[in-house]
Amino acid sequence: MIVNEQLAIDHGLKKDEYKKICDLLKRVPNITELGIFSAMWNEHCSYKSSRLHLKNLPTKGKNVIQGPGENAGVIDIDDDDAIVFKIESHNHPSFIEPYQGAATGVGGIMRDVFTMGARPIANLNSIHFGSPQHKKTKNLLRGVVHGIGGYGNCMGVPTIAGQTSFDESYNGNILVNAMTLGHVKKDKIFYSKAAGLNKPVIYVGSKTGRDGIHGASMASASFDDKIEEKKPTVQVGDPFTEKLLLEACLELMAGDSIIAIQDMGAAGLTSSSIEMASKGNLGIEMNLNKVPCREANMTPYEIMLSESQERMLIVLENGKEEMAKKIFDKWNLDFAIIGRTTKSKKIELYFDEKKVADIPVNTLVENSPMYDRKWKKAKLPKRIKIEKELFKTLKVKNVLSKILSNPNVCSKEWIWQQYDHTVMGDTIQKPGGDAGVVRVHGTSKAVAASVDSSAVYCWAHPLSGGKQIVCESWRNLISVGAKPIAITNCLNFGSPENEENMGEFVECVKGLGETSAYLEFPVVSGNVSFYNQTKDIGIKPTPAIGGVGLIKDYQNMVTMDLKEADNILLVIGKTEGHLDQSLFARDILNEKNGPPPEINLFNEKNNGETVLKLIDKKYIKSAHDVSSGGIITALSKMCIKGKKGATLKKPNYLINQFEYLFGEDQGRYIVEISKDDLESATKILEENSVHFDELGSVNDDSLIIDDKTKVSIDDLIKSHTNWLTNYMEN
């Protein structure tokens, strides 16, 4: 095949990028080399539009062992224990083929974690679909959920938390973000940096097929009308093989034979070999005839770009080959010595005794494009003016029922019941709370994790939205009694070549970075997913934040279910009644303009740390952060979980009832405290200058909002739980 400018463009490269490749090589690349460049220089692998801005994120902290740049981030959780975690997107494949796209997304993120020596202990996900009325939404949701559950359940890893939303901006491009946590001893962490000369390069796992070729490139392009033609680019997963691969890798890792190990994820053998060589400042030479293939007559181009699943690349110590082979033979997995490390600092590939690629590693990595894209700064929208007369036409009970049944608020039990959330026996807080919690096996410690996003806030004002979503993660961890340690992010946006989209990305990242730095909540891993659009219609900006925190004694864990009648309910944090961009404004008033709520970082940090002090003193019986839908929505969920009611007090300062109940002011928690502990608890709040209000008290049977409004627990449950089940079953 003749390589020329048009063929390069067909591979997703720009004209100037192709010229740069020719200049770097001082020749025209052959087809295999062109394929390698197209994979390594796309957005998914090179971060060419995002690197400039990601550099500004805070990535260090006293608990950070490994920040961005490896397969996953690693944090210290005391003693000899560490947690490895990361979130990644599998958006484009999941829209094309929802079951396999979602399944292989889960499989890929688990490999990222166990590649570093950690046994996966928990999965989470953030999934976003189009309007429920859209013709494709129901089938896409069903396929994605079955794919996530099918892979995770077969692997025997619990899915402990997640997030699901619906918005018409996802009609042509759904989002599937998968997150995994793994546990490892600090002296058994493995990295991808190759080292030493003439060391054997080993291929292990499944055989290589033609599935997933150009998967990484496809993930770096917009959809068009020919979407069905892209199905061959979607990988096919086999969780049973991955389970074998996990056990085999961990068995080999128990010794001292591995120098470096890398998952074959996006761009397969290409990215894994080049990343290992680049980090080690070495070359790698490979004989592609030795790569185990499951299909006949595969070309070097196909072998290098295949994204067949359940494969690893390992650099071994010399003399360890036979021992390693016995382990993989025992687990019935392929094992092949396909190459060696060299001093050439090149990727050199041979096939049928001919050299088919000869590329300096630095041309693929250090010399990859980095763009400073043009971007537009978003203005903070003006506050909306709500006519007070509108409130007179509304009844609180009816409004609450509608919000509780909103697709983005309602119970997602239909989804998480299809996931195994108790396997391994260490899940101590299942899905449906503020965060999932798993015990660190054999210890008194527990790890909490949540995943959150807020596309509406980010769309209204990206800088504020970026701040808010980090704060939301922070509050969710604190609400279960965990000290927040670090976050991972999956940044889902439209085309970076669009100035408005790029502006959304830049400002979201800025907000995310400022907040992470202030809260001492660093970013240790992540992923950027651009081109989430069909033709020119992009998604709302959707950064997903996965937060991880530590509970030193799992018996101090807090849940959101109300516990006992006559206990006092407090709202921590000030309520000012912010309705702009709230569920109330959008769902009840059909008002979609206005700014998101203001973020006060001092209050966020101070309020959260003070709540943790109250939890440490065992004053808090239940807790829940206040987010979408305001105080009354948060309290209703606490009532539903505990099958208890609550009697509200009228606030002692002037504020409209609807603003008070449904406003989405940030930095707030609802906490339940016994009368005996109230004085001691309020003293701590006052000493720490934390604003709080007495919301009311717990009762046994109903939510009493005022003299005229009383809602039974059964009615709350009905409003909250019926929508999704009815939608999926009808």
What is the CB neighbour count within 10 angstroms for residue 402?
15
90 catalytic, yes or no? yes
What is the pairing mode between strands 523-529 and 119-129? unpaired
Report which of 52, 180, 75, 113 is spatially closest to residue 520, judged by C-alpha positions: 75
Q: In what order do the strands lie in the sheet with 645-648?
A: 620-625, 669-673, 568-572, 692-699, 645-648, 702-706, 709-712
DSSP 620: E
Task: Quote the CA–CA distance of 559 and 593 in Å, as a whole number.
Answer: 35
**DSSP symbols for 65-88:** EE-BTBSSEEEE-STTEEEEEEEE
Angstrom distances, CA of residue 380 to CA of 69, 387, 688: 34, 22, 32
What is the phi/psi pair of residue 439, to 5°?
-75, 140
**DSSP symbols for 156-197:** T--EEEEEEEE-GGGTT--EEEEEEEEEEEGGG-------SS
Of 44, 53, 421, 578, which is the active-site residue? 44
Q: Which two tokens stand for residue 626?
A: 């206040």
Of 11, 53, 90, 183, which is the active-site residue? 90
What is the phi/psi pair of residue 649, to 5°?
-95, 150
* Residues contacting residue 646 through CB under 8 Å, at least 6 positions apart: 562, 569, 635, 638, 639, 695, 696, 697, 698, 699, 703, 704
Query: Per 3-state DSSP, what percentage of the chain is helix, strand, and coil (rounded to 5)?
Result: 40, 25, 35
Q: Coil, strand, or helix at residue 650? A: coil
* Residues contacting residue 127 through CB under 8 Å, at least 6 positions apart: 102, 141, 144, 145, 148, 162, 163, 164, 165, 174, 175, 176, 177
Task: Quote the CA–CA distance of 111 and 116 in Å, as a whole number.
Answer: 9
Query: Known catalytic residues?
Result: 44, 90
